[in-house]
Amino acid sequence: MIQFAIVGCGHIAAKHVEAIQSVSGANLHTVCDTNRNNLLQFVELYGVPQWTTSFEDILNDPTVDVVSICTPSGTHAHLAIQAAQAGKHVVVEKPMALSLEDADAMIRACRKHHVKLTVVHPNRFRPAVMELQQAVKQGLFGKFSHINSTVRWNRGQGYYDTASWRGTKLMDGGVLMNQAIHSMDLLLWLMGPIHNVQAYTATMLRNIECEDVAVALLNFENGAVGLVEAATTIYPKNYEESISLFGETGSAVIGGPTANWIKHWTFEGMSKEDADSLIQRVNEDPFGIPGHQHIVADMVEAIVHDRPPVITGEDGRNALKLVLDIYQAAEHYKSTVV
């Protein structure tokens, strides 16, 4: 059994517990949080056998194989590097870090100490997205013309007020770093590297340091252009997350409140009956096996078979870099406006 320890007992940690408990070959050994009250509530809710308020206890425990980092984003790098130095494999929530320097330091530390590093980008494992990736891989779109990605969600002021670190530049980031970074990962996974970026960001409705609205125009190295729209200002609740690809011989749209449903699927040489059959099959079970479960299972297999995880530290770095490039482009735009 591969023994996992979870660090940070906030909302996202629950998905890690459920994933670990669902994967054959994985076992939840310990959870850790510096807030004792939160920790004990979490332990009681999920029936975790062992707990500690000291990260050092996990680092010094030879039975722990993997550390799952579920703490605020600004703490990821420090904890991941410590875990790697202690010989622990690392599963880290998105974004893997808030700077490329920290991301690079995490990758170097894991490489130096011969441990695996994976970043939680679970949207890759949605059934509709996997079908989309296969269509891209098979060349069904022909030459791409453009791609559109939207995250039109709601995060009210109460969400940010639940913790002092939310919405801060030092520990969290805005809608791009927090909510839309999964879409950034998908864009790069599906379309490849980006040549240049133009962007605008704004803080329109929320009392936070970072952006709650962002738009960006991307130019991919394959010649396609992309449009990104992301916001946490949608009233009164989450409205849409979507990704749309358009090419000379195919069009596809994945959407819904979360990008789990095939809304449009048309390719040259594919009959309407075949397209409708695929859409029906995917939409009957649009969530499939949870992405976190895929990631935990992949880490177990990567350790057992000594191979890299499917989602690598470099993948996490690429998504982070795109967000930072959008920030930089937006700042450049603001500096040119008189």
Averaged pLDDT for residues 117-127: 98
**Dihedral over alpha carbons 290, 57, 301, 13 (to 10 degrees):** 10
Domain positions in the chain are 2-122+291-308, 124-288+323-329
CA distance 55 to 240: 38
CA distance 37 to 147: 46
CA R_g for the chain: 20
Averaged pLDDT for residues 112-139: 98
What pLDDT is recorded for position 11?
92
What pLDDT is recorded for position 334?
84
Taking only the tens place, the pLDDT of each residue in 166-188 is 999 999 999 999 999 999 999 99
Q: In degrees, to the nearest 5, what angle opens at C-alpha 318 toward C-alphas 166 and 181? A: 35
* Lookup: tokens for 27: 């076992």
Alpha helices in 192-312 (DSSP H): 272-284, 291-305
Taking only the tens place, the pLDDT of each residue in 63-120 is 999 999 999 999 999 999 999 999 999 999 999 999 999 999 999 999 999 999 999 9
What CATH class is the domain 2-122+291-308?
Answer: alpha beta
Taking only the tens place, the pLDDT of each residue in 307-335 is 999 999 999 999 999 999 999 999 998 88
Please state, for a pLDDT cut of 90, what percent of the chain lies above it: 98
Q: What residues contact residue 115 under an 8 Å CB cut-off, 6+ apart?
A: 83, 84, 87, 88, 89, 90
* Lookup: tokens for 71: 């703490």
Evaluated on CA atoms 108, 113, 116, 117, the torsion sign reads negative
For the cut 60, the answer to whether the pLDDT of residue 338 exceeds it is: no
124-288+323-329 CATH: 3.30.360.10
For the cut 90, the answer to whether the pLDDT of residue 232 exceeds it is: yes
For the cut 90, the answer to whether the pLDDT of residue 225 exceeds it is: yes
Taking only the tens place, the pLDDT of each residue in 236-279 is 999 999 999 999 999 999 999 999 999 999 999 999 999 999 99
Helix pair 313-336, 100-112: axis angle to 10 deg:
170
C-alpha separations of 135 from 123, 218, 252, 319 in Å = 16, 21, 9, 22
